[in-house]
Amino acid sequence: MTDWSSGYVSDIGYTYGVYSELNPLRVRLAFLNAGLVFPEHGHACELGFGQGVSVNVHAAASGTAWHGTDFNPAQAGFARELAAVSGAGACLTDESFAQFCARADLPDFDFIGLHGVWSWVSDENRRVLVDFLARKLKVGGVLYISYNTQPGWAAMCPVRELMTRHYATMTVPAAGTGQRIGQSLDFATALLATNPGFARANPNLAGKVDMLRSADRAYLAHEYFNRDWQPMSFPALAEWLAPAKLEFACPAVYIEHLDSAIVTPEQSRFLQGVGDPALRQLAFDFMINQQFRRDYWVRGARRLAPLERVRLLRQQRVVLAMAPEDVVYTIQAGQIEVSLNEAMHRPVIEALADHRPRTIGELESACAAAGLTALQTRQAVFQMAGTQQVQPAQDEAAVERALPACRRLNERLLAVAEHGGEINYLASPVTGGGIPVPRLHQLFLLGLSRGHAQPGELVAFAMALNGGQDLRKAHGEAAATTDQQAALLERAVGAFLRRRLAVLRALAVVP
C-alpha cells in the first residue's frame, strides 16, 4: 500500500454513485419537516467525493458552488473531467484531507457532505475533519454524514477482521485486489461451513457472507478492506462532533422522521420516554438493528414557528419522477420494508401524474376532493418523497439556470455509456439532482439522439453496443442467446418509449 493512500484502498476504483442526501433540495424538505430553519446553499463541499459523479451532478443541477477533494488522483481526474465538460464550476482536487482542509483560499460553507468517509478513516483524519467543520461550516450550516453504526454491525465485525487478516497474510499481492478479496471470502465461507459456535449464535451470518460473494468487488474493497474501519454509535459520533458545535438536526432518510412507521407501538412509547437525545437515537438503532446511519447535523439549530413552517412547506414544489403506473407504495428503510397507505398516497400521485411541478399547497387543494386533509396531504408527499418517486423541485428560474450545464454533463455521461455501464444516473435541473437511468435506457437515449427513432432500430443499436449482455446480467439464462436478448430488448424498448421517456423529458434530463 502506497503512503499517500493512508491505508485506504487505492488500486481499485470507488463506485459511480449519486447520493440524493447531498441534494440541497432534499436537505431543505427534511429540515422543513423537522420544523427547523434551513440554510441557503450558496457554497457546498464534499470531502471524499469518490469518482465525483455525485458532486458533478449536484453542481450542474443545483446551482450551488461546490468544492471538494478525493485523495485518489485517478478518481479526481475523472471528476475534474466531468466538471470541465459541464462548466458548472465545481472546484475539485486530489489533495489529502490534511492538505485540503488547511487551504486558506476556501470559502465558508453552507453545507458540507461526508458520505462513506467517517467510518473508513483514521482518528487523525477525523480530527482534521472536525477542525475543518469548526472553522469552515457557517453558523446555521449543515453537515451530512453517513457512517457504519452498531448494533447492525455487531455480528459482522469479527467476520470483517477474519477476512482482512486472511487478505493481509494469506493472499499474494500480485494476484490483484479483486482476486484476493474472493480468496478471503472463500476462507470465511469455509470456516462458517464447519458450523462454529459463533455461527450458531448468529444464524443469519452465513447468509450475509454468501451475499457478499455476489457483490461488486469495488464495493467490497472500499467497504471491508481498508486499513481503518470503525463502526461508531450515535453517542460516540456526537462526542466527536461536539467541538465543532454541531447538534443533530434530523435523519437524512425521510422514513426515519416517522419512527412510529418502522417500530412497534410499544417501541414507540418506549422511545418517547427516553429524555436524552443521544440515548434515544441509540435505542432507536437497537430497535431497527441499524447498520448504516445517514443524518443531517446543524451548527446552531433554530426552530421555525408552526405557522411559518406550514407556509414554507406549502410553497415547496414537488414533481413525480415515475410513470404513475410504475409507482410502488413501499419504502425500504435499511433492512425493513414499510408499506404505505395507498388510499392516502394515490391522490398525490394522480395530482402529479402529468409530471409538472406543483407546490404542496396546490396539492392540498387538489387532494381535498379525495377526502384528504391538508395535514394528510403533506404527510403523504413527504413519505412519497422518501421513496424518491416524488422529488422536491426547483423554481423555474433555477431550472433554466441549471439546464445548460445538465445538458452538457448528460451528453458526456451518455457517451460514457456507449463503452461501459458503471454510471446509472443523469442530471435533472428540475429536481436539482440525479435521476436513476440504467445503462440500457441510456443506450436507448443515445440511439434516439443519433436518429434511431423506431423500436427495431433501437434494439439493433443497443445490441451492437453489447446491451444484450447487460440483460444477461439481470436475467441470467433467460437471456443466454442472442434471440432471447433481442426479445427482451424489444419488450424493454416498448416499455421505455411508452412510460419512461416522457418522464425523462419532463424532468429535463433529455430534450
- Please indicate, yes or no, if residue 308 is contained in any of the structural domains: no
Residue range of the domain that includes 260: 18-151+229-298
**Are residues 165 and 138 part of one domain?**
no
Q: What is the predicted pLDDT for the residue at 86? A: 98
167 in the same domain as 257? no
Q: How far is CA 449 from the centre of its chain?
A: 28
In a domain, 122, yes or no: yes
Tally DSSP H helices, then E strands, for the chain: 23, 14
Residues 80 and 220 placed together within one structural domain of the fold: no
Strand pairing report for 91-93 and 65-69: parallel
* Statement to judge: residues 91 and 195 lie in one domain: no
Tracing cell 460553507 back to the chain, one arrives at 109
d(CA 357, CA 110): 26
Residue 426 amino acid letter? L
- Distance separating alpha carbons of residues 57 and 86, to the nearest angstrom: 9
Contact status, residue 333 vs residue 378, Cβ threshold 8 Å: no
Q: Is residue 420 one of the residues assigned to a domain?
A: no
- Domain assignment present for residue 5? The answer is no
From first to last of its 511 residues, what are the pLDDT tens digits of the chain?
345 555 556 555 567 899 999 999 999 999 999 999 998 889 999 999 999 999 999 999 998 999 999 999 999 999 999 999 999 999 999 999 999 999 999 999 999 999 999 999 999 999 999 999 999 999 999 999 999 998 999 999 999 999 999 999 999 988 888 999 999 999 999 999 999 999 999 999 999 999 999 888 888 988 899 889 999 999 999 999 999 999 999 999 999 998 778 898 999 999 999 999 999 999 999 999 999 999 999 999 999 999 999 999 999 999 999 999 999 998 876 667 888 899 999 999 999 999 999 999 999 999 999 999 999 999 999 999 999 999 999 999 999 999 999 999 999 999 999 988 789 999 999 999 999 999 999 999 999 999 999 999 999 999 888 766 666 666 565 666 777 888 888 999 999 999 999 999 999 999 9
* Last residue within a domain, chosen from 246, 269, 298: 298
Q: How far apart are CA 55 and CA 117, in angstroms?
A: 15
Residue with cell 466527536: 240
Cell of 81: 473531467
CATH value at residue 84: 3.40.50.150
Distance (Å, whole) CA 31 – CA 316: 12
- Spatial CB neighbours of 359, under 8 Å, sequence gap ≥ 6: 314, 315, 316, 317, 318
25 and 96 inside one domain: yes
Helix (H, G, I), strand (E, B) or coil at 236: helix
The residue out of 273, 298, 323 marking a domain boundary is: 298
Query: The C-alpha cell of 325 is what?
Result: 403506473
- Please indicate, yes or no, whether residues 126 and 211 belong to a single structural domain of this protein: no
CA distance 285 to 273: 16
Backbone angles phi, psi at 310, to 5 degrees: -65, -40
Contact 41, 24 (CB under 8 A): yes
Q: Could you tell me if residue 510 is inside a domain?
A: yes
d(C-alpha 218, C-alpha 258), whole Å: 34
Q: Which of 43, 86, 87, 47 is nearest to 70 (CA)?
A: 47
332: left (phi over 0), alpha (psi -120 to 50) or beta: beta
- Listed in sequence order, the residues at least 6 apart from 262 whose beta carbon sits closer than 8 Å to its beta carbon are 255, 256, 288, 333, 336, 338
| Cα–Cα dist 311/406, whole Å | 31
Predicted TM-score of the model (pTM): 0.93
Strands 65-69 and 109-114: unpaired
Same domain, 31 and 142: yes
* 249 neighbors 296 (Cβ within 8 angstroms): yes
Residue 186 placed within a domain: yes
In this structure, are 135 and 192 located in the same domain? no
Q: Can you tell me the distance from the alpha carbon of 146 to that of 334, in angstroms, rounded to the nearest whole number?
A: 13
**pLDDT at residue number 41:** 81
Q: How many CA atoms lie within 13 A of 213 on its CB side?
A: 12
Which value, in Å, is the radius of gyration of the alpha carbons in the chain? 23
In whole angstroms, what is the distance from residue 47 CA to residue 32 CA? Answer: 25
If asked whether residues 464 and 511 sit together in one domain, one would say yes
> Do both 124 and 169 map to the same domain?
no
Whole-angstrom distance, CA of residue 348 vs CA of residue 142: 30
Are 258 and 142 within one domain? yes
The domain tally of the chain equals 3
Task: Examine the domain organization and report whether 61 and 111 are in the same domain.
Answer: yes
What number of CA atoms fall less than 13 Å from residue 77's CA on the CB side?
Answer: 4
In whole angstroms, what is the distance from residue 4 CA to residue 111 CA? Answer: 27
Contact 246, 133 (CB under 8 A): yes
Domain for residue 374, yes or no?
Answer: no
Question: What per-residue confidence (pLDDT) applies to 1?
Answer: 39
- Residue 378 domain flag: no
Residue 306 DSSP code: H
pLDDT for 7: 57
Given 298, 321, 350, the domain boundary residue is: 298
